[in-house]
Amino acid sequence: MTYTASVVGGSGFTGGELLRLLDGHPEFEVVQATSRSYERKTVGHQHPNLRAMDLRFTSPTELDPVDVLFAATPHGVSMERIDAFREAADTVVDLSADFRLGTEAQYDEWYDGHERPDLLADAEYALPELNRDNLAGADLIASGGCNATATILGLKPLFDAGILSGDEQVVVDVKVGSSEGGAGGGAASSHPERSGIVRPYAPTGHRHEAEIEQFLGCSVSFTVHAVDMTRGAAATCHVFPDGPVTKKDLWSTYRESYEDEPFMRTVAGGGGVYRYPEPKAVAGTNYGEVGFELDPGNKRLVVFSAIDNMMKGSAGQAVHAANVALGIEETAGLEFQGLHPVGAP
Amino acid sequence: MTYTASVVGGSGFTGGELLRLLDGHPEFEVVQATSRSYERKTVGHQHPNLRAMDLRFTSPTELDPVDVLFAATPHGVSMERIDAFREAADTVVDLSADFRLGTEAQYDEWYDGHERPDLLADAEYALPELNRDNLAGADLIASGGCNATATILGLKPLFDAGILSGDEQVVVDVKVGSSEGGAGGGAASSHPERSGIVRPYAPTGHRHEAEIEQFLGCSVSFTVHAVDMTRGAAATCHVFPDGPVTKKDLWSTYRESYEDEPFMRTVAGGGGVYRYPEPKAVAGTNYGEVGFELDPGNKRLVVFSAIDNMMKGSAGQAVHAANVALGIEETAGLEFQGLHPVGAP
Amino acid sequence: MTYTASVVGGSGFTGGELLRLLDGHPEFEVVQATSRSYERKTVGHQHPNLRAMDLRFTSPTELDPVDVLFAATPHGVSMERIDAFREAADTVVDLSADFRLGTEAQYDEWYDGHERPDLLADAEYALPELNRDNLAGADLIASGGCNATATILGLKPLFDAGILSGDEQVVVDVKVGSSEGGAGGGAASSHPERSGIVRPYAPTGHRHEAEIEQFLGCSVSFTVHAVDMTRGAAATCHVFPDGPVTKKDLWSTYRESYEDEPFMRTVAGGGGVYRYPEPKAVAGTNYGEVGFELDPGNKRLVVFSAIDNMMKGSAGQAVHAANVALGIEETAGLEFQGLHPVGAP
Amino acid sequence: MTYTASVVGGSGFTGGELLRLLDGHPEFEVVQATSRSYERKTVGHQHPNLRAMDLRFTSPTELDPVDVLFAATPHGVSMERIDAFREAADTVVDLSADFRLGTEAQYDEWYDGHERPDLLADAEYALPELNRDNLAGADLIASGGCNATATILGLKPLFDAGILSGDEQVVVDVKVGSSEGGAGGGAASSHPERSGIVRPYAPTGHRHEAEIEQFLGCSVSFTVHAVDMTRGAAATCHVFPDGPVTKKDLWSTYRESYEDEPFMRTVAGGGGVYRYPEPKAVAGTNYGEVGFELDPGNKRLVVFSAIDNMMKGSAGQAVHAANVALGIEETAGLEFQGLHPVGAP
């Protein structure tokens, strides 16, 4: 069976990634991609990898009826246009932050409030690994944020296993690529200023902190650095479990959480060059890698988590969620294994 | 129908790329990957993108019988082991230079001679765009070299259309990524020395010159530079046609050559950021892009050609050739459209 | 003796480089740096390496009287404001293209004409290696363009020695860094789109062609590619001398031209990693490196030339020219030897 | 007055940086650079930026008598050859870890013991900002490690001001460039594997932890990641002060510690692109930048510290220490302000 799909906000990086995935997906047919700025241009004009795709951007003001609408628009657009989205589609998958948090109070605290607090309870948060059961049949899905996804994937098994209770100190130090700045970019995103950096771009107060705290139930000390890659988010989580923890405990904890997950891999030590998770190993894919190391002298446990922010952290996660929502094979359209070697992912 | 396949030399970059492609190919099943250095290690040990693949390297001394054997070994190995390869497989696809040239004299001039000149006439050179008809049913295939492929794809249509005759001056200035140096590398390949370079790594006398001259029938002034990317080969061909040439002529020339080719695209001007071929736009894919610009003041025609050296310039081309040889759909296993954005490809 | 100096257009990359050089120069004192957009901000606000410098940008409309005014403004500004510049300073060094060409006809052909053709004959072109004698005491200096400088430095000795006469085919294939796009930049300059590229950014018709042809007296087939570095211009010149040329000829040719030049080095073969000129080896310095290789089979001579486009190709050259004009030690303020290793220069 | 100097281990990255600095230093004359592997080669053979320097490597077995000997040898060499070093020179500056720690017990715990524990008490640790008074006249100086230096510079003012007592949780998450791996490098350092990474290269147990704990008197949870740059170390220190802290407190704390320091800058917020310390802003210089941000919700203080690991973290620090030891102007030979823009530093 084939589902029709549209991408609202198709000219941005995330929109392009959705178009790539949906075009190669066995069960979806893309019928519309909107772009205010590039109306009537081919999608290949913005996304050179899609030069072979026969589709032109149309105005976002007229939405075709589809089975699934993916909204890849900046924060604030979905909450404003949500009625039009839901009218056009049975299932809406929103990739922005507009429906990720559960209460208006959270939006007042972390964002500039919310225009449609009445709908917040309707939306299902999509980290399928976290919330798969609720996604089946969902009609409004809020796809999880990239840095939140990396963090939650790394830490959640520790909470599930009782290694962390939520009272411990949790420091999360994230490193991300330039695609998180979007296709626009300003002076700070220009190549001469952006290349080779280790730049504290959200030293404190990153909005994804709210998502993490909502879903893990603990406070996190969260800092995000921009480094020289285009794709990728790597979260290093420094945590301090109360009780004793062994490597064996950790292996069984992560195995229990992820051994049946089609997109999760545990990488911790071993030989070769790639001994821990790193974004380069998952670039272009929907995989998430998690790993860990113990630091007994400091009673510390370090958890590493790596994803491609455009995939597992955004478009891939959205397609994964749509697959679950519609009852399609979870890995459909997401089989790409990634490249080796690849430069800056 | 499924064909069994093996990769000899599976731990190198090209071997890994073959394993990735064959593992995702609907008609192939990988039964063996050999590696002298990493015997008994998983393929994921060397190729982090293949961590999910359940296969371990075995010794190259015992070859399993297969339908197709891909040899991804250094120059000189295939000519030495060719009898064993052909005994193990009905079809041998060699990715080295060992069977690309037609005569022993060429190997004496460009390499250190040849051990099996008796077999040179048996081998079919694989640029499918150049030599498709001879590949069907071939049992010994010499997959074309990366820099030669980029150059030939850019220039061949000009010869076919009579815009070039072979007597003109042809300067080819190639820029390549670090994967061409292989997985080993020495001091010059180390990150601190290799990053950010524009290094004349084959100022003159590059061996691919022989391939180009053999298949285009003209002399080329060939220079290769290493630049900061891992994948990719971009050939800038400066040619000086005798007669008048218009843009319209060029568009129809390239259309005629490539409009039915599943992996070729012509990109010449137009809007957006990616107006000409560049490796980044085809990274990870089997596509080749060609484009051109006229310089009337100098009676010059500049042709740009870009491929992923690991794909269209190596493993992808080899799988494409095997598809043709076995009568499989040409694009099978090679459908990946590439990523945007991607850092250094 | 100390000369007062000002930089008009101080917030751009070239302006910042001038400020760095002049601030560290034993004979100059910077009294003014102008910027329309960053008036009253410290120079460190735009140039983080100059955070220790105690100077704020002022409006370009009021120019302080100085001994030397450096104009680092976009093309077209100097020709418009030249009277004000000359009123403010005894010596004006213009880093734009406004006074590089000799005739109005050239500006009509390559640019959009010229507002002050009456002054073109007054200006001295500054490649000190080309035109040192005329620079002494000059009051209007047009500092040579980056890509033209790289090319001229590579080829000029061949003309001086009679190895080239001007009738031969000359192909110049240049690779440049992102700083050539300036501090503004657009979509094509954003990090995700600009990293890892080999992009034909001036396939034909680059304006520096006019400078090269003016000073070498020959036509050049000129193509410029953008690659992944921020600083640097590398020119590969493919030339076809009529008569026989040996390596020994070339060594003596380049020695004769450059052995007394404080900023020129010949690098051609030898051992180690850096056997030919490359931008990385001269990043941050005012050095130019030239080298060569013979290709007897094609009767070709390949000349490599590498500079830092911000230094020898711009601000360094301007300071060098000012040193010559004022009779200061030529290397004053330009002694920096560069770094090793350095990433993308 | 001029002091004679030698560099033992001159062919490595740190050795080359020392040679560059000493060659440009007004008070030093380099009389010997040793290299076992490159004996009789010019220093420019290994360090292309030093092609103009007229010096050849000699065997390390015969040391010339000098005023100051800089040892840039791998860990373990200095402790073995220290008698020869001290016989050759009045002042020995060791850049390895061999004399940084105070007791044999520490070497037993963190390294493989020590051959000359009798000398540990004689050595002065060189972070001049930490230990300036003891360096004057010192004859055995242990120059601080790069990652330790970055960390100590960031945190020390907080201890001095009583904001931290040593009992609090301190997490230090460091990001470093590829030059830390040295000129040799293995598979993990090759460009294709090393570019674009965020790699946990010392997840726990990094030996610099010992230095930090020795000089700060507190435990640190220390993790080091390799990212895509060649030079640079950026330490992000997540600390949790017991009492209330304001931005004003922090500004006055850092001002008090560093306002008279010639190489320290505090960068915390403000406008422009570079609002916090980052390695790119200090690449090639001896500057250290520190900055901070408060996270009241988590009672956290985040301190950022950035240095060039080859300079402030190694060769620059060693020269700075020698300047102090000999009573030379502290900034002599270290005046370089750095470049903007610069790619990967």
Q: B220 contacts in C (CB within 8 Å)?
A: 298
Q: B190 contacts in D (CB within 8 Å)?
A: 178, 181, 183-185, 189-191, 194
Min Cα–Cα distance to chain B from A23, Å: 10
Look at residue C344 and tell me whether its pLDDT is greater than 70: no
- Touching check for B33 and chain A: CB below 8 Å? no
- Cα A323 to Cα D300: distance, rounded to the nearest angstrom: 40
- Touching check for B224 and chain C: CB below 8 Å? no
Which of B46, B49, B345 has its CB closest to that of A338? Answer: B49
Angle at B136 between CA B133 and CA B137, to 5 degrees: 145
Contact C294 B342 (CB under 8 A): no
Question: Mutating which of B13, B45, B190 best tests the D interface, going by the most D Cβ atoms within 10 A?
Answer: B190
Closest residue of chain D to C23, computed from CA coordinates? D337
- Touching check for C6 and chain A: CB below 8 Å? no
Predicted confidence band at B1 (pLDDT cuts at 50, 70, 90)?
confident
Tell me which amino acid residue D285 is. Answer: T
Predicted confidence band at B343 (pLDDT cuts at 50, 70, 90)?
confident
Question: How far are the Cα atoms of C241, C300, D118 from residue C246, in angstroms, in the given order?
Answer: 11, 11, 63
Handedness of CA B303, B307, B313, B316 (dihedral sign): negative
Token reading at D63: 């040391």
Residues in B 106-135 with any Cβ partner in C closer than 8 A: none
Token reading at D80: 């073995």
Which of the 8 DSSP states describes residue B48?
Answer: G
CB atoms closer than 10 angstroms to residue C260: 9
- Cα D148 to Cα D142: distance, rounded to the nearest angstrom: 13
Q: D274 contacts in C (CB within 8 Å)?
A: 48
Contact assessment for residue C230 and residue C345, using Cβ atoms and an 8 Å cutoff: yes
- Touching check for D343 and chain C: CB below 8 Å? yes
Angle at A66 between CA A63 and CA A68, to 5 degrees: 110
Distance of CA C224 to the CA centre of its chain: 15
Question: How far are the Cα atoms of A36, A37, A59, B168, D271 from residue A40, in angstroms, in the given order?
Answer: 10, 9, 8, 42, 39
Look at residue B173 and tell me whether its pLDDT is greater than 90: yes
**Biggest alpha carbon–alpha carbon distance for chain C:** 61
Q: Tell me the H-state helices in C176-271.
A: 191-194, 208-216, 247-258
- Cα C30 to Cα C53: distance, rounded to the nearest angstrom: 10
Residues in C 260-289 with any Cβ partner in D closer than 8 A: 265, 267, 270-274, 280-285
Give the mean model confidence (pLDDT) for residues A319-343.
96
Handedness of CA B235, B240, B242, B243 (dihedral sign): positive
Question: Mutating which of D46, D49, D289 best tests the C interface, going by the most C Cβ atoms within 10 A?
Answer: D49
Least confident stretch, A305-309, C131-135, D181-185, D270-274: D181-185
Contact D302 A343 (CB under 8 A): no
D279-329 confidence digits (pLDDT tens): 999 999 999 999 999 999 999 999 999 999 999 999 999 999 999 999 999
C35-85 confidence digits (pLDDT tens): 999 999 999 999 999 999 999 999 999 999 999 999 999 999 999 999 999
A286-319 confidence digits (pLDDT tens): 999 999 999 999 999 999 999 999 999 999 999 9
- Touching check for B247 and chain C: CB below 8 Å? no
Contact A191 C194 (CB under 8 A): yes
The reply to whether C131 sits in an annotated binding site is: no
pLDDT value at residue D344: 66
Token reading at C222: 């000129």
Token reading at D337: 């302000």
- Touching check for A294 and chain D: CB below 8 Å? yes
Q: A226 contacts in D (CB within 8 Å)?
A: none
C152-210 confidence digits (pLDDT tens): 999 999 999 999 999 999 999 999 999 998 877 788 999 999 999 999 989 998 898 99
Give the mean model confidence (pLDDT) for residues A238-247.
96
Look at residue B86 and tell me whether its pLDDT is greater than 90: yes
- Binding-site residues of A for NADP(+) sit at 11-14, 309
Q: Tell me the H-state helices in chain A.
A: 13-23, 43-46, 77-88, 104-110, 128-135, 146-160, 191-194, 208-216, 247-258, 279-282, 315-326
pLDDT value at residue A345: 65
- Touching check for C183 and chain A: CB below 8 Å? yes
Angle at D165 between CA D163 and CA D168, to 5 degrees: 95
Under 8 Å CB pairs connecting chains B and C tally to 163
Token reading at B173: 């200035």
- Cα D66 to Cα D106: distance, rounded to the nearest angstrom: 31
Residues of C noted as catalytic: 146
Which of the 8 DSSP states describes residue B110?
Answer: H
Which of B185, B196, B344 has its CB closest to that of D190? Answer: B185
Q: A189 contacts in C (CB within 8 Å)?
A: 190-192
**Residue with token string 């840095």:** A147
Which of B229, B265, B343 has its CB closest to that of A51? Answer: B265
Closest residue of chain C to B276, computed from CA coordinates? C200
Contact D342 C284 (CB under 8 A): yes
Q: C45 contacts in D (CB within 8 Å)?
A: 270-272
Residues of D noted as catalytic: 146
Mean pLDDT over all residues of chain B?
96
Give the mean model confidence (pLDDT) for residues B118-139.
97
- Cα A114 to Cα A105: distance, rounded to the nearest angstrom: 9
Token reading at B23: 């593992």
The reply to whether C298 sits in an annotated binding site is: no
Contact C45 D281 (CB under 8 A): no
Contact assessment for residue C94 and residue C103, using Cβ atoms and an 8 Å cutoff: no
Look at residue B345 and tell me whether its pLDDT is greater than 70: no
Predicted confidence band at D343 (pLDDT cuts at 50, 70, 90)?
confident
Contact assessment for residue B149 and residue B125, using Cβ atoms and an 8 Å cutoff: no
Helix axes A13-23, A315-326, angle to 10 degrees: 40
Tell me which amino acid residue D155 is. Answer: L
Residues with Cβ < 8 Å from D2, sequence gap 6 or more? Answer: D27, D28, D29
Contact A181 C192 (CB under 8 A): yes
Find the distance separating the first CA and the last CA of chain D, reported in whole Å.
34
CB atoms closer than 10 angstroms to residue D78: 27
Give the mean model confidence (pLDDT) for residues D6-28.
98
CB atoms closer than 10 angstroms to residue D73: 25
Handedness of CA A250, A256, A257, A263 (dihedral sign): positive
**Residue with token string 């000012």:** C322
Residue C108 has, within 13 A of its CA and on its CB side, a CA count of: 4
Give the mean model confidence (pLDDT) for residues D259-285.
95
Tell me which amino acid residue A198 is. Answer: V
- Cα D143 to Cα D202: distance, rounded to the nearest angstrom: 21
Q: D204 contacts in A (CB within 8 Å)?
A: 293-295, 298, 300, 302
Closest residue of chain D to B343, computed from CA coordinates? D196
Q: B195 contacts in C (CB within 8 Å)?
A: 343-344
Residues in D 184-223 with any Cβ partner in A closer than 8 A: 187-188, 192-193, 195-200, 203-205, 219-221, 223
- Cα B190 to Cα C272: distance, rounded to the nearest angstrom: 13
Distance of CA D179 to the CA centre of its chain: 12
B57-76 confidence digits (pLDDT tens): 999 999 999 999 999 999 99
Give the mean model confidence (pLDDT) for residues C270-289.
95
- Touching check for A295 and chain D: CB below 8 Å? yes
Q: Which of B127, B146, B245, B264 is flagged as catalytic?
A: B146
- Touching check for C175 and chain A: CB below 8 Å? no
Predicted confidence band at D333 (pLDDT cuts at 50, 70, 90)?
very high
User: Domains in chain D, please, with CATH?
Assistant: 3-143+314-326 (3.40.50.720), 147-307 (3.30.360.10)
pLDDT value at residue A344: 65
Enumerate neighbours of D (3 or more CB pairs within 8 A). Answer: A, B, C
**Residue with token string 């939520």:** A166
Closest residue of chain C to A187, computed from CA coordinates? C184
**Torsion (CA) B180, B186, B188, B193 in degrees, nearest 10:** 110
A214-232 confidence digits (pLDDT tens): 999 999 999 999 999 999 9
Question: How far are the Cα atoms of A323, D131, D218, D250, D307 from residue D256, in angstroms, in the given order?
Answer: 59, 16, 21, 10, 20
Q: B50 contacts in A (CB within 8 Å)?
A: 337, 340
Give the mean model confidence (pLDDT) for residues C270-288.
95
Provide φ and ψ at A141, rounded to 5°: -120, 130
Closest-CA residue to B208 (of B258, B174, B170, B167): B174
Residues with Cβ < 8 Å from B233, sequence gap 6 or more? Answer: B146, B147, B149, B150, B174, B175, B176, B177, B180, B279, B306, B307, B308, B309, B313
Would you call B218 a catalytic residue per the annotation? no
Helix, strand, coil content of chain C in percent (nearest 5): 35, 25, 45
